[in-house]
Structure 1
Amino acid sequence: MGLPDKKPCRIIVLDNNVPQLSLYYKPIIGDTVPEANRRDWDVSYDLGGAWKQARRVKRENSSLFKVDVVVYPELKLKNLVITQVYQVLFNLNPAIEISLWNGMKVTGQVIIPIYNEYGVSYEQVRQGYVTLSQSVRLPYNLFLTATIGAFNNYRWGGTLDVKHVFKDERFSVQGRVGYTGRSRFENWRWKVSPLKRVTWYLGGDFYWPEYNTAFSLKVEQYLLGEKGIRFDMVRNFRYASIGFYGMKVQNAGNKGYNGGFRFQIALPPYKYKRRGYIPRVLPSEYFGMSYNAGNEQYYGRSFNPRVDDNMATENSFNPYYIKSELLNF
């Protein structure tokens, strides 16, 4: 509905004003159906030549300089006490997010404890993510994201993420390098150690479109300097992503083997409207957690540099996933 008569149409999807993928429709000459069918759209990382002209057009409803207050629920479980099945930690972590130019996002988060069985150090209101992140898209389907600030797992410093999608868009490679120090907020004081720890990973990914399942294999260096291999399998649904992982890590217990599961669930409402520059208050797009089946507490640990970076949001711009949602809607 609403497409120009007998003319092709391309929709380019942006994330924080950085182009991710495009949906392209080309009418078939002699087709008796007057409107486009969902299955007629081609979804790809290819933006087409029109993007060079389209990006110069003034946007009618840009997200630049507009504020979101996003509340991230956090749930953690661990099984280390013989007399208790699980120790539980539940927090509500509101964050202010704002973009000041294309691809840039500033995030400031506060952790508010709701229920705590993890110990005294988790009782106080404290700083969460405080980051400045810049994303760019380069030719040949190359995506870069640089982030500096305070992250989770008591880290601060900087990271650089790289992702390249091949011509066969089921395959991609990605990597991350981080240079961080320890960061801790105690008694209303932010305590940090010098930047001296290098972490990294390099891996390949394959997406199985028939089942919306992603597979990845990575070689990694973790926070204590140990190295390891990690395999992930994630099945993606409309409102959830569920995955399993396995690891082999130097110096870890169980001969270095560990594994578990993780999930991300979309939180309603699933659609939001923005009214001018009035700040929006909304829940995070997804709620998730991971379960460490081997209870390894020291080795194989890493961190995430961005509060909204998870397996579900990453998959939301996968062209095969978008195409399947068009066909199943």
Structure 2
Amino acid sequence: MSRTPRRYLSAAALISATLLVSGCLSNDPEAVETEDDAAAAAAEPAGDNAEPGDDVVIGFSGPAAGHGWIGAITEGAQNQGDEFDDVELRVSEGTDDVNQQISQIEQFINDDVDAIVVLPFDGAALTEVAIEAMNAGIPVVNVDREFSSPFAARTTILGDNYGMGVSAGTYICEQLGDQDDAVVAEIAGIDSLPLTQDRSQGFEDALSDCGMEVENRVAADFTVAGGESATANLLQAAPEIDAIWNHDDEQGVGVLAAIENAGRDEFFMIGGAGSANMMREIESGDSVVEATVVYPASQAADGVRLARLLAQERAMSDLVESDVPREIQLYAPVVMG
């Protein structure tokens, strides 16, 4: 097979790890964390970037924190803002209402903040108001869910969604690669989001590389209830399964509930996001969950760091290419017991 080798980490090592952000941010594959650790993982500023600069006001807007990963994202942003004496971070109330989030960005524009960090509930829907902010001379840092125009953000920080799918597919190939008739199932997140589409494409491509394909696929909505409902439908439709990839560990709680209710255990499952719950499932040794693909919850904290530099018209002095880059993509390794 021609797949690029992926690095695997133990669950125990993952739980004890923290992401050390050096200078501005780090993408060291060895320094990974669970979503539950991320909110507390804001590192002490280092290097020239830690030196106080002009006082700046940064606005932050994100979805409602009904999901553990979103909660960690928001808390991480708040903690990071607290690290800097020269930053006033204004955090809008989390919302899954697109119109309300648009109003939050408009308020930041009216307040003439110095920079905006936004994790949009729907990137396409918030693109126009983000362009409005950029046209007003306010740099926008786009986190996780990408806008539909390159003019909507000065910098975009993304998890490696395609890489998540590749990592999950590669793991399954390595476990089942000699079984030509293996049945692989997929429990996706919200199908309308580009990040879900990227995860599914990466998964499909990795499986194709070892002669497999997804036999059964359902989409949930990144919630516990959605995961349970979608999985119940999947298990009814597929009487025999060898492996399942579930895109999101939060909805994975519902996925596991449906699996238990159905009395099924003939397959193994790989999760997505690296939540503490899934780490415990992996470590237990008696769960269908064998592994999960990490999806960093440090993105908003990194966004606040970058927004500060942009607002102060400073650069990333600890890099050879010192200007703040247009796009940053974080690493998504597999962890297993």
TM over 0.5: no
Q: By percentage of residues, which structure has more strand?
A: 1
Q: By percentage of residues, which structure has more helix?
A: 2
Structure with higher Rg: it is 1
